[in-house]
Structures are given as structure tokens and as C-alpha cells.
Structure 1
Amino acid sequence: MNVFDQENFVPPFELRDHEEQTEAWYNNPARQENRRLAEENLRLKKLLRENGISWDRRLTLDLADPTGSRGTWADLAKKSRRSSRSERSGQRLPSLPVEIILFILEYSLLSSHPIIDPLSKLNAHALLPEEKKISKDQIAINFLATCKAYHAEGTRFLWKNNSFVFTDCLALQNFRTLGLEHRKHMTHITMRIIAKYYDEDPDREHRAPYPTSNPPRKPLRLRVIPRVPDDTLARRGFRSYTWLQVVDFLDVLRPPFDPDHDTAKPRPRLFPALESLRIDLVNFPSDFLTAPSGPEMHALTAHDLSMSLNELQLTGLPECHWGSDLASHLGRMVRDDGLFLKTDSSYVLSNRLRKQPDVEWEPRAIRAWKVLAEEYLQSKKKKKASSLSNSGGHHGHHSHHGSVKIAAVPTEEGAPETTWRERRTLWKRVPVSRDSEERTWVEFDRTTGTAIPREEYADPDTDSYDPDELVCHHCQMMHSPYDDDY
């Protein structure tokens, strides 16, 4: 089959997989650690019993008792004092200055590549071939086990100096066990959200449109996770875990529970200082998936996580109605004058994960028109009409933020001088390409939020600004030029 049959295919229905949820509950870090400690305790007690040794120094076991449960108790009034080998020998081992040791410790715990799924078991299907090789000896993690002082300092270096990629929402959930003193310094993370597909029929093959803007001739053969059929009335068949997986990833960013937190203050989010977020959607084909969950996504992006980022990078977005709807939701997580970047897929997964060629970003300034709206209100002396400035760009009766005023993204330092006289613009530093760390200055039109094309700089007719273009004829207020308002 060289061409995808767009008319006769059966789309997967969206559903969380119950088997994965029950496995995640069983493998919860706390329960897993309790099981490990209980098994280790029983194993050590059995070993001591078999050798006639008590696990309590006050109890002397009766060797004649085959059960190993009887003995005599003794009163140990004196405590023995242990001395180190260096004290007994009277010699001091050679040592380096503390500053040199800390420098070595920091260098050994710094990775040149992002650390994938820390605190969790790696999923081989979510890694590139080169990432599998790097992950084995990425950092000298055993350095932390040398002593308590190095463990404390090394842990701080580990979480402060490295960048992280999460391929599973469970790996992100395990970050809740990390102390706030380490999480509060993280300003950027990457989510690699790989679509999952399930089916009870192992012989049925599923294909989908290639999830890139420049697809090859053949459609993509999906990697389907097999499931065992049963006789219940549970929904079965070809199903997907895509949009709900995005919801589950974002849901983890909500404030986690902390028993030591002051109840009189609001709990901080999982990453309180998070400024930029990159989301790589993998295997999200266009015009293939069913409708996403609108209410859940809206509750997260427009309320709980609303206007919390300075920059959002999004790759692999489907070029269809559902993809545009997702972009509209995710754009609400960015503050006014923030940067929203989207482009083609970074990865495609079939039998293995493949990296796609590097491409340029499609940048957009989020709600850059709000500054113009504030100026329009002041010029018209409509001080009572504060609903616009407090509503995040919505009408007053659709206010999402009430009386909360969230500041816009600060102006970046070192921006070039604009050549426009009338046109209102905004300078932002934009990455050169999807996989590049280098950035260049780009000038955005505040009216549209889009980057100004080069050819418009040579056209003097484009140097104009008419505030009436954004004024609503019904309420005489400025609104977003876009219906989705992102």
C-alpha cells in the first residue's frame, strides 16, 4: 500500500489504556521502594537466622532451636566504640583541596546532552540510537554515593546545571518526589509526547498519513501495542492515546502536594520558575485522530497554567482542525508579548525513532496587540473599562482571570532600533532553526503578532498604524485580530 486511503480508513478512538494505568499505580516509586525494603528486610533476617545470628544485639539465639526464634535477652549497658582504620593506623590518607574536589564533582555531573527521563526507567522506543549509547555513561552518578557531603553538593549540581527531556508523563510525575529547592531553579524542560496506539487484533496492520509536511510516498506504519481481548463490555478495538496524553503531561505541572508547605500560602507549581517549554509531538498525523478533549485542555491551559510561560516551542502539530485547536489552547499558556514557535515534526516513530531534517520555526508574538489596547483606552479616557486589561483578551462576560493582572514578558535587552515611524513593532530573539541554540533578532508587528517580511521594509506604504482596525464596532473596545486569541 503506497497511498494512504483517506476515505475508507477507520480512525482510532481516544481512550486511556487501563493496563498501563494499573501498571503505573503498581510501579509508583513509594510503593516500589516499600516493597523493595520489605523484601530486603525479610531476606536479611532469614540469612541471619540460618547462621544463628540475631538481628538484635540484645538477643542471643538458641542454636538448638530449629525455628531460630528462641533465645536469651542480654542487657547491653556499655556501648562499643568503633574507630576508623585511619585512626588505628595513625596515618592520614592524601587528599585534595575541597575547592578542587567540588570542581571535579560539578564537572562529572554535567552532561553535554539533555538527560532523558531522570528518576525513571528508560523506554527504548522513545530514544534515538545515539541517545541509547549516551544514556549509559552520561554522568558519573556514582560520585553521589561517596559521602553525605558530596551527595548534598552533587545533587544540587545535577539538577541545576543539566537540561531534561521527558518522554513519559510517569517520569514527570516522579519529579514530584524531588525537593522544591531543586525544582525551583529549572527554567526549561522538553516534553517528547509519543502517540500510543492499541489493538487486540495482532494480525491487523494500521497505517496513517506521514506526520510531516514533506511526507514520503508510502504512509506511516504505526507501532501498535497489542492487548489481550476479553469478554467484557469494555471498549475495545483500535484506539489511541494522543490528546489525553498531552492533557496528562500538562496536568503534572500543577502544584504537587507537599506536607511541609505552609497551608496559608498557595502551593507552587511543579516548576515554579519555568519560563520556556518545548513540546515535541510524535506520530500525530493530520486528519487521522478523533476529536480532542476540549474541557480538560481548556481547564489546564486557560486557567491552571494560563500565562505562565515566556516562550512555547511546539513541533509535530497536525495540519488539521484539531491541530489548530490544540495550538489555540496551548498558546494561552504564554504571557502577553511572549513567543510562540511551531514547526514540522522533530521525530517519527515506526519500528524505531527517527530524527527528521532540521527546519525553520514559524514564530509569532502572543497578544502583542494588548499594549495597543491599553494605549487606546487611555487615549479615549475609558478608565472604567478595565475588563479588557483583566480578561486576557476576552469580553468582560467571558473573563478568565477576574481581577488578576499578569505582567507581560519583559522587553529583551540589546534589541535593535526600529526603522518604522508609525508602525508599532516588537523585537524578539528567535532560534535560527528547530535544532539550533543560536538566536537572531526578529521584528514583529504588534497588530498581527507575525514577523515582518523583509520585502515590507522597502515598501513605505506599510509604515502605518490604524487603531480602528482592532476596535470592535459593537462595544468600541479593542479585541484580538484572531478568533482563537492566541
Structure 2
Amino acid sequence: MSPQSSIAWECRDQADQAEIYYNQPLRNKVRRLEDENMTLKRLLRENGISWQTRPKSASARASAGRITRASTRAVRPPLPHIPVEIQLRIMSFALTSPLPIVDPLCKVKPENLTVREKVKSNGLAIHFLATCKAYYAEGTKFLWTNNSFVFTSPESLRNFAEVPLHFRLNIKEVNLRVIAKFYDDEERVHKISRNYHPDLRKAITLTVHKRPKENSLARRGFRTYGWYQLTDFLMAMLPPFDPSSVSHTNGSSTTYSTPLPKLLPSLEKIRIDFVNFGEDMFNNPPPQLHEVASHQLGCTLNEVILTGLPSDETGLRVCNEMAGLLKDEGLLIDHAPTMVALKNGVRALECDTDECHYCAKVVRAMRAFKSGEHHHEDVHAHFFGADFPPAPKDEGEPPFSYYHSCRTIWKKVPVKLGGEERKWVLFDRMSGLPWDDVEEDITMFDFLSDDDEAIACENCGEVHPGAIPPIEMMDLYDDF
């Protein structure tokens, strides 16, 4: 059976969607309560007890007596006293996990976990929350504030809306793991080439879910749930329904008193790990991806990290669409794959060579700097005059550079993906690329006037390397 290299077409698999609907948490909880209620009724009937027994009267309850604090104070041993500050400090350590919490509030699927995540538990002393109401109130705050989270399915992210809004307000960054799923109605073997990552020694056989062959051509062949899954992840981050925000309802019309907050209103940074997204395997993303990334969630984040995007034309298009999430002067990082999905789980990929470097880019930096009439062609196509604040400047003082001018911008980028250490890098505002990568192409086109004097920059009026030429000279600039 030879490997196949056909391109998979995008779909939302009907069987998976039906299973997701069936396992919806609230619906699952109702089924468990119904089963428990029927079991208790059966036990009562087997012992000759009616489950419709009336409650005792007030006089009967009074005669039975009750236990009070005063009656038990003498027999209960005194507890050691610990200051409240120390109790809170202990609770903070006990409810802080050294590893990210994967799919909170949901049942975790082993095939979506790495070996390290399977072996090591999150180390949370979650039983603190069941001790008393005070511990529950304080401990819940530590649980949702002190930890980072990884979501491996759109359903787990959507169910995160069960967390109260005042806890979700404290979440600044989140990690999404988009694992491509594949389906086929024929016995075919599909593989990812070993060129997917330098750490691979051989091609990886994809896990393909077998589906029965149907008569309709619309649901036959090799299919994948990849870009639609990314779209579903982003859709799950939209504002969930909040009954308290409804001012009144008139028939089919509902009026909201205030704008609905998003699922994570204070989100500043997002990392998306694309797993098993090989080159030349996927069609173009659906138009819904542009709708949610550039419009409904557009211009909201300071930094977006993408790992594992294919380096073909489709991957480049998705990267450009995801740049719509960023504010002006936001940082976009495109990194090589960091993991690959196997049959029994996810394997982390390690690479210390230059082949695993990442590409950093600053998005729409020239528009945020220039408030006049001149706009570069990289200006966002859907700018309707609204005043969106740019990404905040990085803390600290950047180093001195002769090339720093209105044409450039300093940004702090990670030294290594996943690490806390960062370094200053000078970027070109117009192209968004690091200045070292474009310096030679830009400075070789510096224009000189007839009297051999350098022309001042059209943007700031000063003379500097890479000065923007006047509008009447832009045609000559483009000819070069």
C-alpha cells in the first residue's frame, strides 16, 4: 500500500461533531444526575421505603433536638492558629502548577498530550477548595490567576466560559494546540515527509480516521479538519452570552445595555502550535478565518506566536490572516514546528540547529507612527478611520544605533521560544522585517539631489539612512 500525497479538503466531520454535541458538559451532567436519581429510587423501592415521604413537622424536628457549636466546643480539640497571610501564601503555592494546565474543566484526551504531560501531573492540591467557603473563595482566585493554560480543542476553550468573568479578566496569555485531524473512506496510507522537521529521522504516518463511503461526492475522499479547527478556536474566543448584560427583550429582538466582553478580555499574547500541518497537504483557508481574525478579533493583541505553519503558499496566507489579530506595531513570530502528533500522543520536537530559527515581523508599524496623509501600501485594508491604540512600548532603554530613525522601531523578541529572556532588535517600519535583513536593499537606494546633498525624509524632514523619498520621486524609487 503506497503512501498518498493528495491534498485534503477542509471539512467538519459529522461523526466528530455529533460526539461533541453528545458529550457537551451540561448535557452530560444532566444525564449523570438522572442516572443517580433513578438508582436512589430503586434502592428505596427495594427496601420498602417510599421516595415521596413527607418532611417532618416543626414539632417533630424540635423534639429531635439539634447539635450546636456550644454543645461541641468542649469536646473538639483546639486547632493550631496560623496567621491568615501565611495561610494564603501556602494556598498560593499549593494551587500553582509548575506546568501549564491542559484543557481545564474538560476531560483530557491522551492523544492530545505529550509524554511529559502524561507522566507528570499538574501538582495542584485541589482539595484545598473543598475545605471551607473561605478557602474556596481565595483558592479559586489563585487557581485561575497563577497558572497558564493550554487548550487542545475548540470545545475545551468554549467551556472555559464557565469560569466567572472576574477570574478570566486576569489571564494575559494563552496557548492553543491545533492538531490537524484526517479522515478517509478508503484504505490509504498518508505520511508527512521527514522534511517536516530536522529532528525527524523518517516520514511520519498520519493517523487517519476511517469513515464509511457515502454516495454523495460532497463527503467522500481524503478530508481534514485543520483550518476549520483554527477558525473554531478563534470563534470560541468571541463574547459568550451573558444574561446580566441584556437590558430587555421584545419578542425576537434583544437589547444589550453594554458591549459583551470577550472570553478573555485582557488577552495580550497568544501562541498557536500547529501540529501535523505538512506542506502541500491543505487547501486555502475558509473565508470565515479572515472574518474572525481580522474583524471580530482584529487589532486586539500585542504578540502572536505561530509554530508549525507550512512554508507553502497556503501557510503564508494563513500567517497573513493571523496578523490581523495584532495591534499596530504588534509582534508576529513564525517558528518551525515544535511537536508532531503520533498514534498514541504528541511528540515534542527538539532542534538546536539554524534550521529551527524563527522569523519575527512588526505589523503595520508605519501606520501607527505616521498620522499624516502618507500611508505605506502595507496599511491594513480594513482601516475605516477608527483610532486603535498601538501595542505598548517595551520596557527598558534600547541600545544606541546609527540607523535608528522614524524608519525604524525597537522591539524586544524572545531569545529562545518558550523562554523568558528577551533581546532588543531593530525593525524596519515599512517592511516590518528586522533591519539587518533589509538594510542593504534599503540604503543602496538613498537618493541624492543635483547638488550631491542627501534628500531629507518626507516623513520626518531629517536626513537619515533609508529616508522616505518625496512622493514625486516614488516612481523612481520603485523602478530600482
- Whether these two folds match at TM > 0.5 is yes
1:465 counterpart = 2:469: no
SS of residue paired to 1:280: strand
Shift of 1:76: 3.8
What's 1:409 paired with?
Answer: 391
Shift of 1:425: 2.0
Q: Is the 8 A contact 1:337 1:368 kept in 2?
A: yes
Unaligned runs of 5+ in 1: 60-73, 378-387, 475-480, 482-486
One-letter amino acid of the counterpart of residue 176, structure 1: A
Shift of 1:401: 4.5
Q: Is the 8 A contact 1:209 1:288 kept in 2?
A: no
Residues 418 and 425 of structure 1: is their aligned pair in 2 closer, same or farther, counting only changes over 3 Å? farther
More displaced stretch, 434-443 vs 191-200: 434-443
Residues 108 and 56 of structure 1: is their aligned pair in 2 closer, same or farther, counting only changes over 3 Å? farther
1:306 counterpart = 2:307: no
What's 1:66 paired with?
Answer: none
Query: Could you list the per-position Cα deviations for residues 30-76 of structure 1 after superposition, in whole angstroms to 9, with x for gaps in the alignment?
Result: 111111122222222222333344546626xxxxxxxxxxxxxx644
1:345 counterpart = 2:337: yes
Unaligned runs of 5+ in 2: 247-255, 447-463
Query: Could you list the per-position Cα deviations for residues 75-108 of structure 1 after superposition, in whole angstroms to 9, with x for gaps in the alignment?
Result: 4445455326884361343133233322222111
* In structure 1, C-alpha distance between the alignment counterparts of 2:276 and 2:470, rounded to whole Å: 40
What's 1:122 paired with?
Answer: 108
Q: Is the 8 A contact 2:129 2:135 kept in 1?
A: yes
Residues 470 and 173 of structure 1: is their aligned pair in 2 closer, same or farther, counting only changes over 3 Å? farther
SS of residue paired to 1:256: coil
Residues 85 and 264 of structure 1: is their aligned pair in 2 closer, same or farther, counting only changes over 3 Å? closer
TM-score with structure 1 setting the length: 0.82
State how 1:374-453 maps to structure 2 within 5 Å.
374=371, 393-394=379-380, 400-420=382-402, 423=405, 424-453=407-436
Query: Could you list the per-position Cα deviations for residues 368-415 of structure 1 after superposition, in whole angstroms to 9, with x for gaps in the alignment?
Result: 1114532565xxxxxxxxxx69x9924xxx6x2434211001212213
Query: Could you list the per-position Cα deviations for residues 191-228 of structure 1 after superposition, in whole angstroms to 9, with x for gaps in the alignment?
Result: 01000001233x42212334635375643211112234
Query: Could you list the per-position Cα deviations for residues 262-313 of structure 1 after superposition, in whole angstroms to 9, with x for gaps in the alignment?
Result: 52110011000000000000000111212221x2011111100001100000
Aligned length in residues: 438
More displaced stretch, 97-106 vs 278-287: 97-106
More displaced stretch, 91-100 vs 358-367: 91-100
State how 1:25-424 maps to structure 2 within 5 Å.
25-55=21-51, 58=54, 75-77=57-59, 79-80=61-62, 82-83=66-67, 87-88=71-72, 90=74, 91-97=76-82, 98-135=84-121, 138-201=123-186, 203-210=187-194, 212-214=196-198, 216=200, 218-229=202-213, 235-261=219-245, 263-293=256-286, 295-351=287-343, 352-358=345-351, 359-374=356-371, 393-394=379-380, 400-420=382-402, 423=405, 424=407
Residues 422 and 38 of structure 1: is their aligned pair in 2 closer, same or farther, counting only changes over 3 Å? closer
Shift of 1:261: 2.3
* In structure 1, C-alpha distance between the alignment counterparts of 2:222 and 2:36, rounded to whole Å: 42
Shift of 1:117: 0.7
More displaced stretch, 279-288 vs 464-473: 464-473
* In structure 1, C-alpha distance between the alignment counterparts of 2:473 and 2:335, rounded to whole Å: 32
Query: Could you list the per-position Cα deviations for residues 331-375 of structure 1 after superposition, in whole angstroms to 9, with x for gaps in the alignment?
Result: 011001111111100101233422112443311111111145325
More displaced stretch, 39-48 vs 317-326: 39-48
* In structure 2, C-alpha distance between the alignment counterparts of 1:178 and 1:471, rounded to whole Å: 57
TM-score with structure 2 setting the length: 0.83
